[in-house]
């Protein structure tokens, strides 16, 4: 079902945690709420779930206003941070926990949905961490909720497992046609998994957009630097051209001009022979296999981290030139600190 959160505020004593948070998730979409620690993500999720009351605002699931309803009447499924299975109940009984008696068929269907068919008799300690997380997902989906909420569901898994489990979770949510909200502070997780990314800051959603749009057209400099890496330089802009220490660069069209700052993405930098582009000295080369990151200190002492192909022909101490490819993001001065 469609989820619409409108202008929700919430304070704990004198701490105003939510300051007018609004979020719309279309039916069948997976939205990632992405924000730094303490910005209010978990509080927002708990308010949608009904574990916490809101001060003002509204929460609609489908065509129902649910803000005044208890959690069990909201048709919300929850996948907590750690799978939090009942240790003394079998996998099947964990999945069937919120279902009426005699729902064995639905339990098996949900186990199948998450790829754990035939594992229902096992106890939680007899399956891996990734499988436990899938059981938690099956448990959340079993009562056919209108909305599924996932609170940092991969944070307890180690890195190598996290990537595969998150692909599986996305696939399961899509197969189930679920409308889902995932809370995370991991931008890679948000960008790679979600249909829409909602960037949260200080109790508000400041931008809600497709992952590629949030990255390419961030609402302000804060979003630009939070979602993805960026080198930020002082600049002036006129007629769609931003001038900074790396030269006069075409500006991504946003109609803004004047004094301000440009944000350049690591993949926009191109390393050239000395004499071409802006001169600098290679400080560090980080090799990742498929690509590499090269840190270059310009003669002005500005530090730039460029993403390049893995086969970097440069070593620390080499002199290089830096060129910039593609349009840059420009934010006017008052906007830069918005």
Ligand X SMILES: Nc1ncnc2c1ncn2[C@@H]1O[C@H](COP(=O)(O)OP(=O)(O)OP(=O)(O)O)[C@@H](O)[C@H]1O
Phi and psi angles of residue 173, each rounded to the nearest 5 degrees, phi first? -60, -40
Q: Which of 5, 29, 32, 35 binds ligand X (CB under 6 A)?
A: 35
C-alpha–C-alpha distance, residues 32 and 193, integer Å: 8
Are the beta carbons of 247 and 324 closer than 8 angstroms?
A: yes
Q: Which of 8, 25, 43, 222 binds ligand X (CB under 6 A)?
A: 43
Report in angstroms how near the CB of residue 197 gets to ligand X at its nearest. 15
Cα four-point dihedral sign 144, 83, 173, 204 = positive
Report in angstroms how near the CB of residue 25 gets to ligand X at its nearest. 18
> Which CB atom, from 133 or from 268, has the smaller least distance to ligand X?
133
Per rule CB under 6 A, is residue 288 in the interface with ligand X?
Answer: no
> Which CB atom, from 152 or from 209, has the smaller least distance to ligand X?
152
Beta carbons within 8 Å of 301's beta carbon, 6+ residues apart: none
> Which CB atom, from 12 or from 288, has the smaller least distance to ligand X?
12
Beta carbons within 8 Å of 286's beta carbon, 6+ residues apart: 292, 293, 294, 295
Q: x-or-dash pattern for ligand X, window 53-82, by CB under 6 A?
A: ------------------------------
Stretch of 10-18, 139-147, 292-300, 322-330 lying at the interface with ligand X (CB under 6 A)? 10-18
Report in angstroms how near the CB of residue 148 gets to ligand X at its nearest. 18
Integer angstrom CA distances of residue 113 from 106, 135, 161, 169, 172: 10, 10, 19, 10, 6
> Which CB atom, from 45 or from 61, has the smaller least distance to ligand X?
45
Six token digits for residue 317:
């101490």
C-alpha–C-alpha distance, residues 123 and 221, integer Å: 49
14-33: which residues touch ligand X (CB under 6 A)?
15, 17
> Which CB atom, from 17 or from 30, has the smaller least distance to ligand X?
17
Six token digits for residue 287:
């090799």
Per rule CB under 6 A, is residue 12 in the interface with ligand X?
Answer: yes
Binding residues for ligand X, rule CB under 6 A, total 12
Report in angstroms how near the CB of residue 10 gets to ligand X at its nearest. 8
185-214: which residues touch ligand X (CB under 6 A)?
185
Q: Are strands 204-209 and 231-238 parallel, antiparallel or unpaired?
A: unpaired
Beta carbons within 8 Å of 38's beta carbon, 6+ residues apart: none
Residue with tokens 């692909």: 167
Q: Which of 3, 40, 166, 236 binds ligand X (CB under 6 A)?
A: 40
* Residue ranges that bind ligand X, judged by CB under 6 A: 12, 15, 17, 35, 37-43, 185
């Amino acid at each position: 079902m469609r989820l619409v959160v409108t202008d929700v505020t919430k304070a704990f004593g004198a701490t105003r945690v939510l300051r007018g948070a609004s979020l719309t998730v279309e039916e069948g979409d997976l939205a990632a709420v992405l924000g730094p620690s303490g910005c209010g993500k978990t509080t927002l999720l708990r308010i949608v779930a009904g574990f916490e009351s809101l001060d003002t605002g509204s929460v609609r699931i489908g065509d129902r206003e649910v803000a005044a309803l208890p959690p069990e009447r909201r048709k919300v499924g929850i996948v907590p941070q750690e799978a939090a299975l009942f240790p003394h109940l079998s996998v099947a009984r964990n999945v069937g926990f919120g279902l009426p008696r005699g729902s064995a068929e639905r339990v098996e269907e949900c186990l199948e949905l998450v790829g754990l068919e035939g594992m229902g008799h096992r106890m939680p300690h007899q399956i891996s961490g990734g499988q436990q997380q899938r059981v938690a997902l099956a448990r959340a989906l079993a009562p056919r909720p209108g909305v599924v909420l996932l609170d940092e569901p991969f944070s307890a898994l180690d890195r190598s497992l996290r990537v595969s489990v998150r692909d599986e979770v996305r696939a399961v949510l899509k197969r189930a046609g679920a409308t889902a909200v995932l809370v995370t502070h991991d931008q890679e997780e948000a960008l790679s998994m979600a249909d829409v990314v909602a960037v949260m800051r200080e109790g508000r959603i400041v931008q809600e957009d497709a992952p590629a749009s949030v990255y390419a057209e961030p609402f302000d400099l804060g979003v630009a630097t939070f979602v993805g890496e960026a080198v930020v330089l002082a600049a002036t802009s006129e007629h769609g051209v931003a001038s900074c220490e790396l030269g006069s660069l075409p500006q991504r069209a946003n109609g803004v001009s004047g004094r301000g700052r440009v944000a350049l993405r690591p993949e926009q930098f191109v390393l050239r022979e000395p004499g071409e582009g802006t001169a600098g000295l290679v400080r560090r080369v980080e090799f990742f296999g498929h690509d590499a990151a090269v840190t270059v200190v310009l003669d002005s002492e500005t530090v730039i981290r460029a993403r390049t192909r893995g086969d970097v022909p440069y070593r620390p101490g080499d002199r290089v030139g830096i060129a910039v490819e593609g349009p840059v993001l420009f934010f006017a001065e008052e906007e830069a600190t918005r």
